[in-house]
A and B are shown apart, each in its own frame.
Chain A
Amino acid sequence: MPGYVVKRVFQSILSVLIVSTLTLFLVYSCVPRQLVFKGDLVLPKIANKPDEYNDYKFRTWEKLGYIDYVTQQEYAQQVFGADSPEVSQALLQNSSFYEKFRADLTARGYKVEALPVSGYLYATKDVALLTRVFLWYAKLIQIDHPYRIQDPDNPDLKRGYYLTRDWSGGLALAASGTNYKYQIWVDDSFPFLHQNMIRLNMGRSYPTFDGVPVLDVISGGQGRSARREINTTVRGEAVTFFTSIDEHSLKYKPVLDRLDMNKFEDNYADGNLLTIDPSMLGTSFTIGMYSLILSLAIGLTVGVIAAMKKDMIFDKVTMAYIVFISSIPTLLYIALFARFGMKVLGLPDKFPFLGSENILSYILPTISLSLGGIAGEALWIRRYMVDQMNADYVKFSRSKGLSQAEVFFRHIVRNALIPIVHSIPMAVIGTLAGALITESFYAVPGMGKMFPSAISDYNNAMIIALTFIFTVVSILAIFLGDILVTFVDPRISLAARKEAR
């Protein structure tokens, strides 16, 4: 078994690498780079200023990693030093620097062109596809350590770890010299123990959520910020203030202002804001989990009853429901159910009507998401039970004198549950991705809605990150399911048995 697990982990990592490398290659080579500006809000405003327009476009592409971009001014600063008077001389019309720029950068493989109005030169060079893919992986895992921050203006920065208590009094391992102040801490939210030591960096979002790291977009809170009162001591003085900063996200800030000094003792003053609405990840997970519980509970019950009352009216209605749900497009039954929920039950058919704080917002999306699952579970358990009714072991246990119910629940249902157990981890984790259409229909601010909107906005970093995350979680889920099923069914062994013969 341990040997098998190691092999399987290795295979899983390989799969993730293959899928994400393919995605990176395809996205950066097949999607025209001009399209990233489709959702850009700045570009239309400067469309009638050709120089600015050009400069903005190339800067954005450089930020997104498509090209290297050097302007004449930047190169002059680089050659003569940033504050040198020769920099402005180099930009004068008849300066010999034009020739130098053209010659130097052409020699380095850049393509040199002139801005249409001012005539200043700029140089661009495409970043090779392989380099881009390599850079994505190189930046992926970020490890925080006490020598991370190298700030020339702050040479006396202390370096090392220490135990402390955060604002709410929880125990935490903090550090100085690191990028993040709090390295490990405990609090009352799942999974209770949190860390900042190893973080994933999947690039920054653009054009939507411009500049925000993509993982912060999906795991950070949403909506307006939530302020609360903080009582703490700063440099020995007890202070009380209102803030919405999340202290666990505090990062190194090179220059502090007065307001920061009043709240913090050290240079760690740059934090994310706490918000009233849960993150995209959290919203999807809540809806997904409840719908999974619902579909298991209802689906299995209905399926068992239908099998016990085979060919009676209950069974026929169940089968009609299953055929209906499995054949018609998801969109259609979700739309139908949303109408029913709104007209008959009076529930909101769009999530933002009542917002994340009102439980009524969650009811329709959760039930909609479970409609398909109910059909799937019911179909499986009914068919399995009907097939097994004539099996030898069932006939035998009946002839032993077991009652109908005992035969069903002691023998048949137990066997039928094994594949369902196998699929539970996939379903749990699949809730993150599975709600694409439901979340879009009900305008739920979750992960499922994020993927299609990232696609229509040409948000490449987000698309790659989401594909990576969904691949990792589904591989993990299949793996977990395989492990789990060996506990439920002792007959199944994962490691390939050596042939006895």
Chain B
Amino acid sequence: MAKTAERFAFATFDVLESERIAGPRYSYWKSVFQTFFKRKTAIFWLVLLLSLTLMSFIQPLVSGYDPAVAPNINTPSTWYQKPSAEHWFGTDDRGNDLWDVVWSGTRMSLSIAFIAAAINIGLGILVGAVWGYSKRIDPILLAIYNVVSNVPYILRSMMLMYIFGRGFWQMILAMTITGWLSIAFFIRTQVMIIRDREYNLASRCLGTPLKRMVTRNILPYMVSVIATLIYQEIPGLINTETILSYLGIGLPSTYPSLGRMIDVYWSFVDTYPHMIVFPGIVMGLVTISFYVVGQLFADASDPRTHR
């Protein structure tokens, strides 16, 4: 029996150790990024997205391209050049380097989309959160939403563009003045669903203050929803901008814009296809990379996909 005594020894009772919860430590954001970066496609699209965005915000500063100035308009030899080592995307019908034109246009489209999306989503989340919680303002906002949402978004923005006149800030105003409403409505519904879930009920019973409830219980749940909103909103706003500019009711001709490029260069599609192909490719890559990165991030931010 002495041998058994050698093998076993009494453990000392540790108060701290007994309080420790078994299981790996879980950090939400760490898991989000881990899940996101595990996928090679995600890294590829993210790098592409970042380089396109950086390029479009830095390159126009270097080139100083201004559509109102056409320095080569009187030198026909510089017009319609095919892509070469000197002009990577070739030149257009006025001798402008397409490489400059494309990045300026992308910058314009992205700036509009970023600003308008920030306003729409910021205002939408703020109003939506209050809307979801307050029973008093719910009928008022619902009535406004019902009236506004009856008019299709593109029609609304065209109408507002007409009323405000053409320009950069006018376009942002036209996109945001009613644009936040649908986002707020979406958030309101989400908040309403989540706030009455059992875990929130239990949390409230245990005395969790509202601030902690919002930051710890509700917002993490909403991250994937918000990510979904952002990745659909930015390509959507770029789409609206190109449509308005293409139809000639968006940005005036003194602004570079992807939509206007398609409008102006389309007449050369048969003779000088490079004038359409390069703007098209950049436009497509920018919007696709936003969409895909957003979608993958939204997937990664859903706690059910972790581990």
Contact = CB atoms under 8 A, between A and B. Distances in A.
Given A470-B152, A474-B152, A478-B150, A329 B158 contact: no
Given A323-B291, A328-B235, A471 B163 contact: no
Contacts of A230: none
Interface string B280-307: 1001100110111001000000000000
Interface string A466-501: 010011001100100000000000000000000000
Given A323-B288, A336-B280, A470 B163 contact: no
Given A329-B243, A332-B280, A437-B243, A463 B152 contact: no
Nearest to B161: A455
B291 A467 contact: no
Per DSSP, are chain A's interface residues mostly helix, strand or loop, or mixed? helix
Contacts of B269: 339
Contacts of A430: 152
B246 interface: yes
A339 B239 CA distance: 20
Contacts of A455: 158, 161-162, 247, 249
Contacts of B28: none
Contacts of A456: 247-249
Contacts of B284: 328, 332
Contact of A327 (B162, B248, B292): B292
Contacts of B246: 331, 437, 440
A328 B283 contact: yes
A291 B11 CA distance: 77
B95 interface: no
Q: How large is the interface on B (under 10, 10 to 19, 20 to 34, 35 or more residues)?
A: 35 or more
Contact of B163 (A31, A326, A339): A31
Given A15-B147, A329-B283, A452 B288 contact: no
B44 interface: no
Given A335-B276, A335-B280, A339-B269, A433 B287 contact: no
Contact of A326 (B147, B159, B291): B291
A19 interface: yes
Contacts, number: 108
A324 interface: yes
A474 B291 contact: no
B238 interface: yes
A452 B242 contact: no
A15 B242 contact: no
A478 to B, nearest CB: 7
Interface string B112-153: 000000000000000000000000000000000011001110
Nearest to B245: A331
B283 A470 contact: no
A432 to B, nearest CB: 10
Nearest to B162: A455
Interface in A418-433: 430, 433
Interface string B213-238: 00000000000000000001001001
A26 interface: yes
B79 to A, nearest CB: 23
B169 interface: no
Contact of B151 (A19, A327, A329, A463): A19
B69 interface: no
A292 to B, nearest CB: 16
B158 A30 contact: no
Contacts of A26: 159, 163
B199 interface: no
Contacts of B247: 436-437, 440, 452, 455-456
A15 B152 CA distance: 14
B70 interface: no
Nearest to B243: A437
B150 A31 contact: no
A20 to B, nearest CB: 10
B288 A324 contact: yes
A329 B133 CA distance: 36
Contacts of A327: 235, 287-288, 290-292
Contacts of A323: 288, 291-292, 295
Contact of A470 (B147, B151, B295): B151
27 contacts: A11-B146, A14-B147, A15-B146, A26-B159, A26-B163, A30-B164, A323-B288, A323-B295, A327-B292, A328-B235, A329-B243, A329-B283, A330-B243, A331-B242, A331-B246, A331-B262, A434-B152, A437-B247, A452-B247, A452-B249, A455-B158, A455-B247, A467-B151, A471-B150, A471-B151, A474-B151, A475-B150
CB-CB nearest 9 A-B residue pairs: A327-B291, A452-B247, A329-B239, A329-B242, A30-B163, A327-B287, A26-B163, A15-B147, A327-B288
Given A327-B287, A327-B291, A452-B249, 5 more contacts: A26-B163, A326-B232, A326-B235, A330-B242, A430-B152
